[in-house]
Structure 1
Amino acid sequence: MRRVSLLESFEVDVRAGRSGRPRPAHARQATAPTTVSLLVGDLSRQGILERREDEADRRRRIIGIAADRQPAITAWLAPGAAARRKALAPLTPDQRQLLVDTLLAYEAAVSGEEQG
């Protein structure tokens, strides 16, 4: 499940035009940096993600979906994204945020990464 969430966040960055300077991966996931690092490492070894230097700050690495994998990842994530949009459409922005916050809290509790 976490791999899907991570890929979805990279896909959102690509569609939003943020692939050049995306948010830190752990911030997207509300997950410990070490957990995201392990996921990124695994997906990079499989050729799904690629890492490159940040031209503005050589200490940073920009991580994104490998160009040759982008169409397949987009197609694979599309049914879930469409279902999510349909399910969330009747909710107000506040209701959507409450749902997201609740699911994040649930996932953190299940994984033992509760914050606070």
Structure 2
Amino acid sequence: PVIRTPEARTNMMKLSQRMITAFCANISASGSQSWTALSDSTDDTVRITTRKNTEPGQPSGVILTAVSTSWLPFSHQQVFELLADEQQRCQLEILSNGGSLHEVAHIANGSH
């Protein structure tokens, strides 16, 4: 296994929580943030924004956030079930530019 000890699992969960929190904070629109489309095309859904990092304990500098959206013709529950089911997850490979998706580690975190 990739994650060998309970301490490593705990550290991985803490790291993933910090990453998710930072990601959500960076993509959350605020009055001071404006998003710029990388193209004038209406089909292009890639947008970027920048902000200065002023959080204590973090390196100073500029944070560049880029997002892209994809519309899936499914309900949010169907998408969750697709992501959660390792046997069906290969259906998402078309979204990974031909790359293969595989689970590196599984950490149980509640009933889901």
Q: What range is the shorter-chain TM-score in?
A: under 0.3
Which structure has more relative contact order (CA 8 Å, sep 6+)? It is 1
Q: Structure 2 length as normaliser, TM-score?
A: 0.27
Q: Structure 1 length as normaliser, TM-score?
A: 0.26
Structure number, greater radius of gyration:
2
Higher share in helix? 1
